[in-house]
Amino acid sequence: MRLQISDLQLELTQGDIAAQKDIEAVVNAANAELKIGGGVAGAIHRKAGSELEKACRPLAPIEPGEAVITEAFNLPNQYVIHTLGPVYGRDKPEAALLEKCYQNSLKLAEEYQIKSIAFPAISTGAFGYPIEKAAAVSLETIKITAEELENIKIIRFVLYSSSDFRVYKEQAQKIFID
């Protein structure tokens, strides 16, 4: 699914965040220590190689909502932006912290003059954030931030499962089209 929001192209796709060859920066749903973990963090670190964990060491730990940037090593991208999502039911207020993850990642990307960025559905795996709510927060954040973006021209959400992909498409329809 592709939507044009003035200068910005918003894309929703089903796939692997570690295999986005045409994207400059991929976002990692990181842990506070910025170490290899499961899910997105596992896929990104495995593909990038052990140099990524070394590059992350001086930047850790990070707080929920915070974002930091490194190079991408063996990934097919230039940068990895690592952000720590809220643990649903523990880090509150969850929606504001999740919004910060997206805002701070976009802010860093703008600072680095990045033109294309791909996000996973932050916090919706191990951190337990319900997918419908997380989809609404992330897409609303794009909607309110789109006009401020100067360098970023493509934002892609990469959803892992077909059901998550469907939820995102439904939310995008509600937020951008209806």
Enumerate binding residues for ligand AR6 (CB under 6 A): 16-18, 29, 31, 37-41, 43, 85, 120-127, 158, 160-161, 164
**For ligand AR6, which is the closer residue by CB, 3 or 126?**
126
CB of 28 to ligand AR6, least distance (A): 8
Q: How does DSSP classify residue 104?
A: H
Decide: residue 172, CB within 10 A, 0-12 exposed, 13-18 middle, 19+ buried.
Answer: buried
Structural tokens at position 80:
């990895």
Q: Which is nearer to ligand AR6, 26 or 108 (CB)?
A: 26
Nearer to ligand AR6, 74 or 161 (CB): 161
Shortest Cβ 7–ligand AR6 spacing (Å)? 26
Residue 5 Cβ vs ligand AR6, minimum distance, rounded to whole Å: 23
- 174 in Cβ contact with 43 (< 8 Å): no
Degrees (nearest 5) of the Cα angle 160, 2, 172?
Answer: 70
